[in-house]
Amino acid sequence: MKRTSRDIRTANRYGVLRQIIARSPVSRQELAAATGLSLATVATLVGELLDLGMLTEVGFEDSAGGRPRGLVGVNASGGALIGVDIAETYVRVELFDLALRVLARAGEDLRPGGSRPEQVVGHVVSAVGSVVTQAGAGGARVLGVGVSVPGQVDREAGVSEYAPNWDWHDVPLLALLAEHLAYPLYLDNPLRACAVAELWFGAARGRGDAVVVNLGTGVGAGLLLGGALHRGVGNSAGEWGHTTLVLDGRPCHCGNHGCVETYVGAPGIMLNLREASPGSALLHPEDQTATIDALARAVAARDPVATAVLRDTARYLGAAVADLVNLLNPEVVVLSSWVAAALGEPLLHEVREAVARYALKRPLAGTEIVLSPIPTDPVCLGAATFALEGALAPAGPRPADGTAGGTAGGWFVRASSNPLPKR
Amino acid sequence: MKRTSRDIRTANRYGVLRQIIARSPVSRQELAAATGLSLATVATLVGELLDLGMLTEVGFEDSAGGRPRGLVGVNASGGALIGVDIAETYVRVELFDLALRVLARAGEDLRPGGSRPEQVVGHVVSAVGSVVTQAGAGGARVLGVGVSVPGQVDREAGVSEYAPNWDWHDVPLLALLAEHLAYPLYLDNPLRACAVAELWFGAARGRGDAVVVNLGTGVGAGLLLGGALHRGVGNSAGEWGHTTLVLDGRPCHCGNHGCVETYVGAPGIMLNLREASPGSALLHPEDQTATIDALARAVAARDPVATAVLRDTARYLGAAVADLVNLLNPEVVVLSSWVAAALGEPLLHEVREAVARYALKRPLAGTEIVLSPIPTDPVCLGAATFALEGALAPAGPRPADGTAGGTAGGWFVRASSNPLPKR
């Protein structure tokens, strides 16, 4: 309820930079019109971003005979941001410039049984080292590393509270990473990472209310309400995957029954396939990615079993997306993450038809349903965006001596005695 | 996404007045501390509210040897507000002073078949006349009338778009009322009225994120996120009653199956009772109120059928409230409206137990579940609050000649040629 003037200043900084990234190069006058802020406020915010080295002056535009207007743009080389996507089946790391263009990539698949915290930390450290090396000695200063891990996280403490698919409990992930990485670290989860990626760079940009439906092994819904991520009192908002779709339905690892996730997460889709055709050749029992890819290819080839499974999945998904439409009345619902990307347009088509059957007509009339337009891994991009937001937050009381400590903006650590190996 | 400086000014006015109502008399310094606004901003806002006649200076307090601090309080007699609760089974009207204390009440039950728009308008006009007459010739100027009607409403056009229990479609309710009432009129629905009542005067005051679960004939959830009502792109957010709890479950009048409302709305509870005990004496087939009241009395008397029906209802309600907890992670869930008031503490107890079984542990740990503490009809109070908010909105471009027209703040009409009958 208390929205301090500092919160407002931070939100305005984000809003102005978001518009600059979208429109670069752009005049302060255009930014004032696009954000609804006064020209004086915009000029102050642009000045701060110039001081932070995030923008550059890039010339002038004619203004119909008046004084030429100064244009600003993103200072792409003003710093680098790293996004880390820890998923149930892989670790992926990308290094971005300040315009959030990918400069380097690294990653590895996780084998079943290879998901103990120290194993995952090893993969992340190695991949971060790889992208920094690829970006080269001339690469810009790394402003921060955003890390996304499935499940519930305490972002301020840097702790993975509960990752259900791995049965992680209270893993101090950022502290483990800080033994190896000396950059500011930021933790959150994939549903919120996908959401901020859409807010800054995708289908939610400029929309008042949007929901980003994250379809992977687990599923969730990033809620972008009033132009900002809704986190809830304990940063756990968005657990749509664990809302009840079928009371007393399929058992879920969360302990409940009939959760949305058990019907539309990758393992749920595999179960839909198994129920439709127990011996299907599409099914790779130990490999979610291979199964979803096989299903997508079979749908494209008009295989009747695959088509039936897609429809069945879309029916569950449509009913659960209709719940979001009825409850939240968003302008746009974005289908994101790897399962949505793999099943693509055919899934979108079936989901739109199913939502139309389940949602109330009037809320639905105002809602668009789209696939994520982000061409790269939205979780890496969103995780890097958390690092960007951290770098933009007005300087708070960071521990002066560099000792470990959580802040609202990020997690800052003493330069490690065990530095990143140079290769 | 665009939050203009005018929106912020309006939100700050609401925030300051809300604190004054809660703490009256109060100093500007305390208000600054309570709202997080600067003292200068608070002083400006208090000055505006004094100019509007909504506050009075009420003396000074000692400030530990410093200059005495001026105290302000609500100017209770500065105006009157009227709240109209049109429900499926009754019309209730209350007249409030500016401290939102009830000065007069009127209302009538609606008989089945007595819910045509012109019949309902007649009941409202008559009851408004009654409360104005009761308040007397010395009564304060009526600043506005807030009207709550079930279902989906277009508040700017003043139209009841769809009231499912009556099958109303696009009824121009405010235009019909404006033929009789010359006050500024504001339209919304009960789930949002209950929500703003809790935000201003009840269990959501001072909470960042709250959900107000409205249990009546229909059910819904008013979403108070970031200290303000979440409306959605088309003002239809909160249709939790039409989210799916049991895929392919009970048929709902909305055309879907298995909606939450079909299990926990008053007719749904009657069906739970009929399923448990087809010939139960508790059941008054044509009278929801009598049935719910009989159920409440039988629960108090430890009747085993009534207890089983309460548990069954609480199980459905618990699963559906757990969905809100998991998705939105609110600080508080408030059970409101007449069914919640009638079933009271026994319902609350069973719902808390059920939510604990269905919700994820961590979000639940941060969420309190309570009965509405508002002792009067929360829908009337909330509807009157919409009128208060309208009176507080900075003066916009109202039609200068007083002709009918919708504004963001309210609906203003030409003084009627058919004035309120004086009795």
Closest among B199, B343, B195 to B265, alpha carbons compared: B343
Q: Which residue of A has its CA nearest to B12?
A: A3
Q: Which residues in chain B are contacts of A363 at CB distance < 8 A?
A: 232, 234, 236-237, 239
Whether the Cβ atoms of residue A170 and residue A161 lie closer than 8 Å to each other: yes
Take residue A82 and report the two structure tokens written for it.
Answer: 């790293």
Residue A68 vs residue B236, higher pLDDT: B236
- pLDDT tens-digit profile, chain A (423 residues): 345 667 778 888 888 998 898 888 999 999 999 888 889 999 999 999 999 889 999 988 876 677 788 999 999 888 999 999 999 889 999 999 998 999 999 998 888 788 899 999 999 999 999 999 998 856 678 999 999 999 889 999 999 998 877 889 999 999 999 999 999 999 999 999 999 999 999 999 888 899 999 999 999 999 999 889 999 999 999 999 999 999 999 999 989 999 999 999 999 999 999 999 999 999 999 899 999 999 999 999 999 999 999 999 999 999 999 999 999 999 999 999 999 999 999 999 999 999 999 999 988 999 999 999 999 899 999 999 999 999 888 654 333 333 334 333 455 543 333 333 333
Whether the Cβ atoms of residue A101 and residue A76 lie closer than 8 Å to each other: yes
Closest among A224, A226, A235, A220 to A199, alpha carbons compared: A224
Take residue B18 and report the two structure tokens written for it.
Answer: 């809300």
Sheet holding B228-229, edge to edge: B228-229, B219-225, B210-215, B332-336, B368-371
Whole-prediction pTM: 0.88
∠ at Cα B270 (B269, B274), nearest 5°? 115
Whether the Cβ atoms of residue A72 and residue A46 lie closer than 8 Å to each other: yes
Binary contact (A363, B1; C-beta < 8 A): no
Binary contact (B208, A245; C-beta < 8 A): no
Binary contact (A247, B367; C-beta < 8 A): no
The pLDDT score that the predictor gives to residue B362 is 87
Q: Which residues in chain B are contacts of A229 at CB distance < 8 A?
A: none
Residue B395: pLDDT band with limits 50, 70, 90 = low
Q: Does B371 lie at the interface with A, CB-CB under 8 angstroms?
A: no
The pLDDT score that the predictor gives to residue B3 is 57
SS3 category, B292:
helix
Q: Which residue of B has its CA nearest to A328?
A: B237
Residue A25: is the preceding peptide bond cis (ω within 30°)? yes
Binary contact (B239, A327; C-beta < 8 A): yes
Q: Testing the interface with A: which of B37, B240, B243 to mutate, by most A Cβ within 10 A?
A: B243
The interface residues of chain B toward chain A in range 96-125, judged by CB-CB distance below 8 A, are: none
DSSP B139: P
Q: Which residues in chain A are contacts of B199 at CB distance < 8 A?
A: none
Domain regions of chain A by residue span: 5-74, 79-192+378-395, 204-371
For chain B, give the mean pLDDT: 89
Q: Testing the interface with B: which of A328, A333, A355, A368 to mutate, by most B Cβ within 10 A?
A: A328
Nearest CB partner across the interface for B326, out of A161, A239, A327: A239
Binary contact (A249, B247; C-beta < 8 A): yes
DSSP B138: T
Res B304 pLDDT > 50: yes
SS3 category, A5:
helix
Q: Which residues in chain A are contacts of B264 at CB distance < 8 A?
A: none
The pLDDT score that the predictor gives to residue B410 is 53
Whether the Cβ atoms of residue A298 and residue A306 lie closer than 8 Å to each other: yes
The pLDDT score that the predictor gives to residue A204 is 94
Whether the Cβ atoms of residue A55 and residue A18 lie closer than 8 Å to each other: no
The pLDDT score that the predictor gives to residue A394 is 64
Sign of CA dihedral A285, A288, A293, A298: positive
Sign of CA dihedral A275, A279, A281, A284: positive
Cα–Cα distance measured from residue B144 to residue B148, given in angstroms and rounded to the nearest whole number = 13
Mean pLDDT of B109-120: 88
SS3 category, B420:
coil
The pLDDT score that the predictor gives to residue A410 is 53
Residue B29: pLDDT band with limits 50, 70, 90 = very high
User: Tens of pLDDT along B348-371?
Assistant: 999 999 999 999 998 899 999 999
Binary contact (B244, A207; C-beta < 8 A): no
Binary contact (A5, B323; C-beta < 8 A): no
Q: How far is A236 from chain B (nearest CA, A)?
A: 6
Cα–Cα distance measured from residue A14 to residue B178, given in angstroms and rounded to the nearest whole number = 45
Closest among B399, B420, B405 to B179, alpha carbons compared: B420
The interface residues of chain A toward chain B in range 122-141, judged by CB-CB distance below 8 A, are: none
| ipTM exceeds 0.85 | yes
Beta carbons within 10 angstroms of residue B401's beta carbon: 7
Question: Virtual CA dihedral for A62, A66, A70, A73, nearest 10 degrees?
Answer: -50
Closest among A294, A266, A78, A301 to A190, alpha carbons compared: A266
CATH no., domain B205-371 = 3.30.420.40
Residue B362 vs residue B275, higher pLDDT: B275
Whether the Cβ atoms of residue B185 and residue B147 lie closer than 8 Å to each other: yes
The pLDDT score that the predictor gives to residue B415 is 35
Q: Which residue of A has its CA nearest to B243?
A: A323
Sign of CA dihedral A202, A155, B355, A169: positive
Closest among B381, B88, B91 to B216, alpha carbons compared: B88
The interface residues of chain B toward chain A in range 213-272, judged by CB-CB distance below 8 A, are: 221, 223, 225-228, 230-240, 242-247, 249, 254, 256
Cα–Cα distance measured from residue B410 to residue A3, given in angstroms and rounded to the nearest whole number = 26
Q: Which residue of A has its CA nearest to B332?
A: A233
Res B170 pLDDT > 70: yes
Class in CATH terms, A79-192+378-395:
alpha beta
The pLDDT score that the predictor gives to residue B411 is 52
Residue B6: pLDDT band with limits 50, 70, 90 = confident
Binary contact (B226, A227; C-beta < 8 A): no
Nearest CB partner across the interface for B232, out of A316, A319, A363: A363
Nearest CB partner across the interface for B329, out of A221, A236, A256: A236
Whether the Cβ atoms of residue A242 and residue A251 lie closer than 8 Å to each other: no
SS3 category, A343:
helix
Q: Do domains A79-192+378-395 and A204-371 have the same CATH topology?
A: yes
SS3 labels along B206-249 = CCCCEEEEEECCCEEEEEEECCEECCCCCCCCCCHHHCECECCC
The interface residues of chain B toward chain A in range 294-333, judged by CB-CB distance below 8 A, are: 316, 319-320, 322-323, 326-331
Closest among B286, B292, B316, B320 to B306, alpha carbons compared: B292
Q: Which residues in chain A are contacts of B1 at CB distance < 8 A?
A: 15, 206-208, 226-227
Whether the Cβ atoms of residue A320 and residue A286 lie closer than 8 Å to each other: no
Cα–Cα distance measured from residue A73 to residue B398, given in angstroms and rounded to the nearest whole number = 41
**Tell me: domain B5-74, CATH 1.10.540.10, correct?**
no
Class in CATH terms, B78-192+378-412:
alpha beta
SS3 category, A189:
coil
**Tell me: domain A204-371, CATH 3.40.50.300, correct?**
no
DSSP β-bridge partners for residue A219: A215
Residue B287 vs residue A165, higher pLDDT: B287
Which residue type does A224 have? L
The pLDDT score that the predictor gives to residue A411 is 52
Question: Virtual CA dihedral for B227, B328, B223, B397, nearest 10 degrees?
Answer: 60
Name the residue with tokens 């810009």: A140
The pLDDT score that the predictor gives to residue A165 is 79
* Pairing of the two strands A219-225 and A228-229: antiparallel
CA distances from A378 to A190, A387, B308 (A): 9, 14, 48
Whether the Cβ atoms of residue B254 and residue A360 lie closer than 8 Å to each other: yes
Q: Does B207 lie at the interface with A, CB-CB under 8 angstroms?
A: yes
Residue A52: burial class (beta carbons within 10 Å; 0-12, 13-18, 19+):
middle
Q: How far is CA B153 from the centre of its chain?
A: 14
